[in-house]
Amino acid sequence: MGMCRHRPAPFVLSFSVVNAVEMWLQWGHTKRVLQLIVIIPRHLAPFIPIPTFVRKGSWLVKEAVELIPQEAHCICAAVQKLKDVPKEGFGDKLDVTVAVALVVNQVAPSTSLAVRVLNLMLTGEIGDADAWAMVRKRLNSVVKGVAKEGSVYKDRYSALSVKNRLGSRFWLAHGESLPRILTLVQQAKADVEALSRVPGMIKLGALLHVAC
If you average pLDDT over residues 164-184, what whole number do you get? 95
Residues belonging to the chain? 212
Give me the residue spans of the domains in the chain. Answer: 53-166, 182-212
Indicate the helix (H) or strand (E) that contains 59.
Answer: helix 59-65
Nearest to 61 by CA among 110, 118, 117, 102: 102
- Residue 121 pLDDT more than 90? yes
- Of 31-35, 57-61, 64-68, 85-89, the one with minimum mean pLDDT is 31-35
Q: Put residue 6 in one of left, alpha, beta given phi > 0 → left and psi -120 to 50 → alpha.
A: beta
Phi, psi of 30 (to 5 degrees): -60, -40
0.85 exceeded by pTM: no
pLDDT bucket at 57, cuts 50 / 70 / 90: confident
What b/e string do you get for 11-44 counting C-beta neighbours within 10 Å, with b at 16 or more? eeeeeeeeeeeeeeeeeeeeeeeeeeeeeeeeee
If you average pLDDT over residues 83-108, what whole number do you get? 90
Q: Residues 7-50: pLDDT tens digits? A: 444 444 444 555 655 655 565 555 454 444 444 443 444 443 44
